[in-house]
Amino acid sequence: MTSPLAAALSFVLLLATPAFAAEMIMYEQPGCAWCKRFNEEVAPAWPNTEQGRRAPLRRVNIREPLPEDLADIPVERFTPTFVLVDDGEEIARLRGYPGDQFFWALVDEMLAKLEP
């Protein structure tokens, strides 16, 4: 039987642990000039933004074996490609990196397709 203190502690820890169902997959590859530009202009800020908290960035190198949990998400040769995934399902896709100002607006459109 669980003690009331242990149950309360478990509840507090559950509330303190972020649960990410959505993530922004960035398909990239070595030598990609637009990936480099994204890395310079957006990547450092991503985790500190509302967008980054809602969909943490996950990088996937298309030249390496793909993670099993992304097996149903089509991969393109064009990089970077950003795919918003929620519970293993593709919600939206952005091919290429259009520069930081356009990128944020397009990401907001992508995130608007998520369930609240």
- pTM, rounded to two decimals: 0.81
Residue boundaries of the structural domains of the chain: 21-111
pLDDT in tens, 13-46: 444 334 558 999 999 999 999 999 999 999 999 9
Determine the CATH number of domain 21-111. 3.40.30.10
pLDDT in tens, 72-101: 999 999 999 999 999 999 999 999 999 999
Q: Which residues on neighbouring strands pair with residue 85, listed in sequence order?
A: 23, 90
